[in-house]
Amino acid sequence: MINVVLFGPPGAGKGTQAEFLKEKYQLVHISTGDVFRFNIKNATELGVLAKSFIDKGQLVPDEVTIDMLNAEVDKNSDAKGFIFDGFPRTEAQANALGELLVSKKTDVTAMVALEVEDEILVKRLLERGKTSGRADDADESVIRNRIKVYYAETAILKGYYEKQNKYYGIDGVGSIPEITERISTVLDTF
């Protein structure tokens, strides 16, 4: 089983690469944002609980997020592995994800981080903002802040996964097939 934590700053191409990796390795892509939206929209017990925190402007507690991820993993018990996108973001979340996977008799295989220079990210996101309809892709100061927050959060996890020899920084600049090939070179070793 291959379980990949997919990381990269906004605009690095995580969503695009997740689609190719999902097909190539027959993995299930779990986007934390999508899981939240699904549970909230469908008013599941966990969705109602998560919404109660969000409505107060609070972060959803890790336990609730982990319970949602656990449900997603259980829904796909025959999967060959998972791509975790948007989670973990803290060391506590990384520990919780590790414990969840160990309880399923597996573990995180690799953290793959797409590395792209800030100016390229800003350019990509401003371009995406012309068609995405996302307000956070249209304002350069918001984009730069999102990138800054990403680095502040991810620096901790880079060290966390490096200590386990599971961190792989991948050059995220080039054509989509070139980047997919770089990631595949790593994943094909497992």
Average pLDDT on 39-49 reads: 93
The total of other beta-carbon atoms located within 10 Å of residue 59's CB is 10
Alpha helices, DSSP H, located in 26-61: 32-41, 45-55
182 is an active site residue: no
134 is an active site residue: yes
For 110-150, the pLDDT digits (tens) are: 999 999 999 999 999 999 989 988 888 889 999 999 899 88
Query: What kind of architecture, by CATH, is found in domain 2-187?
Result: 3-Layer(aba) Sandwich (3.40)
128 is an active site residue: yes
146 is an active site residue: yes
Q: Domain coordinates of the chain in residue numbers?
A: 2-187
In contact, 64 and 50? CB cutoff 8 Å? yes
**HSE-up of residue 72 (Cα within 13 Å, Cβ side):** 27
Q: Which of 38, 8, 16 is nearest to 128 (CA)?
A: 16
Q: Which of 101, 98, 115, 104 is nearest to 6 (CA)?
A: 115
Catalytic residue selected from 51, 128, 158, 182: 128
Distances (CA, A) of 48 to 40, 51, 60, 66, 160: 6, 5, 11, 15, 32
Ramachandran class of 26: left when φ > 0, alpha when ψ lies in -120 to 50, beta otherwise: left
For 163-172, the pLDDT digits (tens) are: 999 999 999 9
80 is an active site residue: no
Secondary element (H or E) of residue 24: helix 14-25
Q: What's this model's pTM, rounded to 2 decimal places?
A: 0.86
